Structures are given as structure tokens and as C-alpha cells.
Amino acid sequence: MILRRSLLATPLAAPAFAQAWPSRSIRLVVPFPPGGASDIAGRMQADVLAAGLGQPVVVDNRGGAGGTVGTAHVAQSVPDGYTIMMASPSSHLGAPLLFRSPGYEGVDDFTAIATFAHGTSLLCVNPRLPINSVQDLIALARREPGRLNFGSAGAGGSNHMLAALFMQRTGVQMTHVPYRGAAPALADLMAGNIQLVFDTFSGIIGAARTGQVRALAVTSETRWPLAPEFPTLAEQGVAGFSLPSFSAVMGPRGIPDAIVQRMNQVINDALGTPAMVQRLATNGNAPFASSPAEFAALMRAQRTVWQDLVRATGLQPE
């Protein structure tokens, strides 16, 4: 059952409150442990907001249960702009579908503040597989349904969902082999124990450029600026492939619009600077600016996509 905030946590409507904000430090929850990609994104968000708002922004790592512990905590927080979070498709679109009682609805229980950065993934195959394009892969998978094995970092994760979307859009059947993380899946791909993976750009680009795996396509809708030599899936005949990978800032539902707009402006201003572009590129990402309304629309659209994919894979909430 989705928990709801009490009446004490209703939006604060007084214009004077919004005008005085922020008058103290802000807490930015990262719903994953320190050290990973989500933590890095959250700390960059905190740095940007602290510099632009003139108040400390403290990162609060609250990991556990696929990100649902920290995310549920934010959903139940007072919507005063002093508790926000690093959000991602994993925490807001995947986890609510894959955990029986996550404690929140990933879109409706939150205020969309700002997108921050986006990335891409690479569809890569073992180089000994006799294919050189996505159409070659589709043809092989159609000739031998279920023979090709794809690895993932675990059931329901983004790389699993990318493969599920690929099968849905192309009508092929492949066999899922879940691992305890992306690294062992990549190791088995290079060894030839599995035939393909969808992995993050930063996680697999080194192996692709050294020939340990063969990259067939990027999953973004346009060519990735950090690796323009790789074509998109759409260029190779796979239409309607859209499962964006991004980090963003969200807060509990009901944050006053003046506060939301101020945070959005601070983030978008920072994303336009060469220093931030370079900092993001170091981690394989690119700036992703949007308005709060555009971000909210993206979340609603992607919720439908993720719901359809979970149904297609037959995954059941834990």
C-alpha cells in the first residue's frame, strides 16, 4: 500500500515563505550507497545548488531495497524545499514496479524539479559472434529463437529493461542471464559465455574501443557526442526505442512553484557552463536541461513505457 503524507505536510502557500527560501541548509538524499554513479551525480547536484543558492546542500545517502528506502523517505518529507533528492529511472520508475510495498508512487508522489544529466548505453556483442550490425543480430536471433543469451546486472535493472525493449520492438526472443552487477556480465561477454549485453557507456566503452567486445549501437535517440562513431538503434531499423537514462532532482509533492523554478534555473544555468560539461563528460554523461513541466511530462511518459516492459518480461514484485 502506498503511504500518504499527513495533512501537516500540505504545501506551504505563503508567498513570503517562498521569497525567503532558502534560509538554511538543504538536504539532498541519494537513495543509494556512497561511491557509485548515483552518488557521484547527487554530489554534483549538491555542489551546483549550494553555489547557486548560497546555502549548504548536504548529501544524505539512504541506500537500501533498490533505492526505495531513501526515495520513500523523501516522499514523506515536508514539501518546503529543504529536502530533495537525486532521482533516476531506477528509483522512480523501476523500483515502484518491482517492490511490493515501496512506500511511494514514483511520479505522482513527487515534485519534478530539474533534469540534470543523461547518458547512454551500448549494445555490445562478443567479437567472435559472426555479426557486424543490429540487423545481423536480429536475423540471427530470428533464426534461432532463445539461443542468444544476454547478461544484465540483475532482473529489473536498466540494462535488463533495455534488452526487454529491444525484444519488444524487434519481436526476437533471447534468454536473460542475470548477474550480481555489470562487471561480471561484461567479463562473461568477453569470455564468450554470453553473447550480448546492454551496458552503460562509461562501463563498456573501454572494452569496445580495445576490441574486447563489438559495439553495434548506442541506445540514445541520437548519436552520443562522446562516441559519434557508433550509430543509433533507430539508424539501424529499430524504431520507437526510447528508454532514457538520466539523473535528476525531485522533491516531495507540493513544493511551492517559486522554489521549484528557482532550483530549476540554478541547475540549468550551471549545465550551460564549459566546466560542468567537462565534469559530466568525465563520467560519460552530458548535460540534460529542461523545465519542470517538461521533466514531469517525461516522467509520465516513461512510467507507461516501464509498466509495459515489466508486464512483457513477466517480472513480479518482490
pLDDT in tens, 126-178: 999 999 999 999 999 999 999 999 998 877 778 888 999 999 999 999 999 98
pLDDT in tens, 72-102: 999 999 999 999 999 999 899 988 888 889 9
Greater confidence (240 vs 126) lies with 126
| CA atoms within a 13 Å half-sphere pointing along the CA-CB vector of 257 | 3
Architecture in CATH of 121-219: 3-Layer(aba) Sandwich (3.40)
| Whole-angstrom distance, CA of residue 284 vs CA of residue 172 | 30
| Whole-angstrom distance, CA of residue 127 vs CA of residue 115 | 36
- pLDDT attached to residue 311: 86
Cell numbers describing residue 146: 532463445
Average pLDDT, the chain: 90
Is residue 118 classed exposed, middle or buried when 0-12, 13-18 and 19+ CB atoms within 10 A define those classes? middle
What are the Cα distances from residue 158, in Å, to 90, 309, 314? 7, 11, 15
Is residue 318 classed exposed, middle or buried when 0-12, 13-18 and 19+ CB atoms within 10 A define those classes? exposed
Q: Mean pLDDT across the stretch 35-46?
A: 90
For CATH 3.40.190.10, the residue range(s) in the chain are: 121-219
Cell numbers describing residue 5: 503524507
**Closest CA relative to residue 84, chosen from 62, 100, 103:** 62
For the entire predicted model, the pTM comes to: 0.82
For CATH 3.40.190.150, the residue range(s) in the chain are: 23-118+243-313
Cell numbers describing residue 81: 524545499
pLDDT in tens, 250-274: 999 999 999 999 999 999 999 999 9
Angle between helices 274-282 and 257-271 (to 10 degrees): 80
Given the DSSP bridges, would you call strands 214-218 and 149-152 parallel, antiparallel or unpaired?
Answer: unpaired
Q: What CATH topology corresponds to 23-118+243-313?
A: D-Maltodextrin-Binding Protein; domain 2 (3.40.190)
Q: Are 174 and 107 in contact (CB under 8 A)?
A: no
